[in-house]
Amino acid sequence: MIEAAGGMIPFLCHVFLILFGGFFGLSFAFNQNFVPNSIGYPSKDAMYMGRPLGFLMIGVVLMLVATLFQIGDFTSANEVIGILFIFTILAFLSNIATTLKMLESFDGNEWPIKHAIRPLIPMVVILIRYFTL
């Protein structure tokens, strides 16, 4: 399995992406306090807005698990990780534009820089995986 992933570092990056995406996917989909508390929505309706994103992230994680264990015909994770990389770039650009007030925030308040930094975590892991293959 480690040889199929391209070595120990790409394997560990693959496992980290599964754990990172799984945590956020499950938190968005099923933790009712995750979205209102972490993003700052005061409404009770906010707990339901993260569910589609959570289920999307769970789907990506399941594809990563299938490629890690080479279930069925899924032998290459490059496409899934490429899509995740594009998602992190777009999330970073959107958050940095909101932080720099090029885009308005959803509630009109200041947008902290920590929201722009969060997508950089999986992005760096993906870059480490790419350059160590």
pLDDT at 32 (0 to 100): 73
Q: Are 111 and 99 in contact (CB under 8 A)?
A: yes
Whole-number pLDDT of residue 21: 92
Full DSSP string of 106-122: SSSS---HHHHHTTHHH
Mean pLDDT value across residues 70-74: 80
| Spatial separation of the C-alpha atoms in residues 39 and 50, rounded to whole Å | 10
Query: Residue 119 sits in which domain range?
Result: 2-132
Number of domains in the chain: 1
Q: Is the pTM of this model over 0.85?
A: no
Q: How confident is the model at residue 123 (pLDDT cuts 50, 70, 90)?
A: very high
Looking at residue 121, its pLDDT comes to: 92
What pLDDT score does 35 carry?
A: 64
For residues 1 and 7, what is the distance between their CA atoms, to the nearest angstrom?
9
**What is the band of 16 on the pLDDT scale with cuts at 50, 70, 90?**
very high
